[in-house]
Amino acid sequence: MASKAIRRRPTDKEREKHMETSMPESVTEPLLGSSAHGNKSEGYEPIQDFWDGKSRECLHWVHIVSTFITQSARKIVNAISEFGSFLARYFGCSCAPQSSQNAQTMLINLSPLQEERLKFLRQRLNLPFDCSAVKHQDALKELWGLAYPNRELPPLKSDLWKEMGWQNSDPATDFRAGGFMSLENLIYFARNYPDSFHRLLHKADGERAEWEYPFAVAGVNISYMLVQMLDLQSENKSSKASVCFVQLLEDDEMAFDNLFCLAFQMLDVQWLARRASYMEFNEVLKSTLGQLELELTVGGVSSVQNLPSFRMLKR
* Interval 13-32: pLDDT, tens: 454 444 443 444 433 344 55
With cut-offs at 50, 70 and 90, classify the pLDDT of residue 3: very low
Q: What pLDDT score does 100 carry?
A: 41
pLDDT surpasses 70 at 129: yes
pLDDT surpasses 50 at 42: no
Q: Which tops the pLDDT comparison, 7 or 283?
A: 283
Q: What pLDDT score does 69 carry?
A: 62
pLDDT in tens, 81-124: 454 444 434 333 333 333 444 444 344 578 999 999 999 999 99
Q: What pLDDT score does 237 carry?
A: 58
Instruction: Report if pTM > 0.75.
Output: no
The fraction of the chain above a pLDDT of 90, given in percent, is 60
d(CA 264, CA 182): 12
- Which residue, among 237, 193, 291, has the nearest Cα to 245 in the 3D structure? 237
- Which residue, among 267, 241, 270, has the nearest Cα to 255 in the 3D structure? 241
pLDDT in tens, 162-205: 999 999 999 999 998 899 999 999 999 999 999 999 999 999 99
With cut-offs at 50, 70 and 90, classify the pLDDT of residue 76: low
Q: Which tops the pLDDT comparison, 44 or 158?
A: 158
Q: What pLDDT score does 235 carry?
A: 75
Q: Which tops the pLDDT comparison, 154 or 10?
A: 154
d(CA 62, CA 309): 8
d(CA 205, CA 270): 12
Q: What pLDDT score does 86 carry?
A: 41
Q: What pLDDT score does 299 carry?
A: 82
Q: What pLDDT score does 109 carry?
A: 75
pLDDT surpasses 90 at 288: yes
Please state the separation of Cα 96 from the chain's center in Å.
31
pLDDT surpasses 60 at 296: yes
Domain ranges of the chain: 108-312
For range 210-228, the mean pLDDT: 97
d(CA 153, CA 144): 7
pLDDT surpasses 90 at 247: yes
